[in-house]
Structure 1
């Protein structure tokens, strides 16, 4: 493996690509809603998303002795240093949030949202079907990245044309998680991880993935054609993200890690809006 591929693999294992993708998603909604955010908001979001994903990975591999994928084996073998870095990230993030927001309405509402997300995820893990985990993560992921742009947007920008991109982005996140669940189903079944692949048959899961992908491609293409010129770049980005997911997932000859990395890279496409 070349040094560049080795570096990219660690970026993926550490969920750094996911954190950067969330920051790109915040830019998507900042531009869409006409909000005005500064760099601390992006840094804090990246730290929060990385912390949530790292907590999830560390909880998954704790006390697991069965064979794990290279990604999960990495988290298991580096459990202590990752826990230390995670603790420092959470502490710095809390201090940074208080320093930047102050004890105002935005921080208070954000803490309430965080509590709702954590509580809902715990409840779904206990009593919900597997697919609810993927759906809830997709919903809360998009709510998290749109939260500040929504709070700081001008009321005039909250029209139906901009609001329809919210469920579309949730659809992309849900599609990504369903695809990853399918790719990881053997390990999830062996080790007992909670996922959609454990409650849906492979045929039903593939059908759901195809229908969701085709639906997103059709809706984003319709948006590109029918909406005004301002919204076309946003529709184009959703369309490209859906196409990359579909073509990557159904491409033969790619291993699971390669498919995962290519699909996660698609979440960086909103960064193109910075140059438009």
Structure 2
């Protein structure tokens, strides 16, 4: 297996998006100068990986033939090893839960409750046209990353809200763009997505609106706000680069369809915040 195939497997197992969540959390904590303990970092990473993995396993289980997408094919072929590793992660997470502060534990339980409702609605209730799984996924992803900063930071709450909004918008755009690219395969293999329930035209308009909103907010934050927080401008530059990358993929889709390059680049943007950790 060469390096390219290794990375594609790494990506299919949601390890890139998991590391991306860690990068986002540590970038925010770096800007606001808060300490994130090792078990808190582990629990966030574990939660992201488990949510994505469970989602992919359930999707793959509904496909009664060889899956077309790599992530579903991998979860079909390696179902047992993935489940065994998930059991190990769950056991380790239970140990770490006892180390958490009560406020963080309570906040995490609220998020877990929302995720449980999300899985029941998306995967087990028929007639799911009323639920947008992509919106819920972006909300859970961004809120999970921002949970500890919201609890630990007492000052600059308005800027923390800005970071949360930006992270939600970029995550939502990312998920919608991937669903937009995967629409044909999802339709063929009866996978639920906003594209299939709301249509390509409406999704295209929503994506344009969300990307425009993200760029307006980020440009204003970069050039119009001077909060006196070290690393604030650097974080905004990184956010802008993330948005520009997604905009590039969305504007020139035919350049990224081969070998699911769009998915590789779209998920790689969540590693950009590592620059904030490294440079600051």
Superposed pair shares fold, TM > 0.5: yes
Structure 1 CA distance, aligned partners of 2:33 and 2:183?
41
Structure 1 CA distance, aligned partners of 2:65 and 2:183?
15
Q: Is the 8 A contact 1:175 1:213 kept in 2?
A: yes
Deviations 1:216-273 (A, max 9, x none): 1222112111011633222212111110111123333322621111111111111111
Deviates more, 1:48-57 or 1:210-219: 210-219
How many residues are treated as equivalent by the alignment?
271
Match of 2:50 in 1: 51
Q: Is the 8 A contact 1:121 1:133 kept in 2?
A: no
Structure 2 CA distance, aligned partners of 1:113 and 1:204?
29
Match of 1:166 in 2: 164
Shift of 1:130: 6.6
- 1:258 matched to 2:261? The reply is yes
Deviations 1:114-145 (A, max 9, x none): 12222244235536537621111101111101
Q: Is the 8 A contact 1:130 1:194 kept in 2?
A: no
In the alignment, structure 2 segments of 5+ residues that lack a partner are: none
Q: Is the 8 A contact 1:237 1:269 kept in 2?
A: yes
Q: Is the 8 A contact 2:118 2:133 kept in 1?
A: no
Q: Secondary structure at the match of 2:191?
A: coil
Matches within 5 A, 1:35-184: 35-68=34-67, 69-98=69-98, 100-101=99-100, 104-123=102-121, 126=125, 128-129=128-129, 132-153=132-153, 155-158=154-157, 160-184=158-182
Shift of 1:75: 0.8
Shift of 1:25: 1.4
Q: Is the 8 A contact 1:220 1:238 kept in 2?
A: yes
Q: Secondary structure at the match of 2:255?
A: coil
Q: Is the 8 A contact 1:131 1:195 kept in 2?
A: no
Runs of 4+ in 1 over 6 A off after TM superposition: none
Match of 1:24 in 2: 23
Q: Is the 8 A contact 2:43 2:93 kept in 1?
A: yes
- 1:273 matched to 2:272? The reply is no
Q: Is the 8 A contact 2:56 2:71 kept in 1?
A: no
Structure 2 CA distance, aligned partners of 1:222 and 1:105?
33
Structure 1 CA distance, aligned partners of 2:194 and 2:10?
25
- 1:241 matched to 2:261? The reply is no
Deviates more, 1:171-180 or 1:128-137: 128-137
Structure 1 CA distance, aligned partners of 2:200 and 2:106?
42
Structure 2 CA distance, aligned partners of 1:37 and 1:88?
23
Q: Secondary structure at the match of 1:164?
A: helix
Structure 2 CA distance, aligned partners of 1:137 and 1:97?
23
Structure 2 CA distance, aligned partners of 1:67 and 1:202?
25
Structure 1 CA distance, aligned partners of 2:131 and 2:247?
19
Q: Is the 8 A contact 1:14 1:54 kept in 2?
A: yes
In the alignment, structure 1 segments of 5+ residues that lack a partner are: none
Please tell me the root mean square deviation across aligned C-alpha atoms, in Å: 2.0
The two structures have a TM-score, normalised by structure 2, of: 0.89
The two structures have a TM-score, normalised by structure 1, of: 0.90
Structure 2 CA distance, aligned partners of 1:221 and 1:113?
30
Deviations 1:17-74 (A, max 9, x none): 0100110111133234442212222122111111111111111111522342222111
Structure 2 CA distance, aligned partners of 1:32 and 1:26?
10
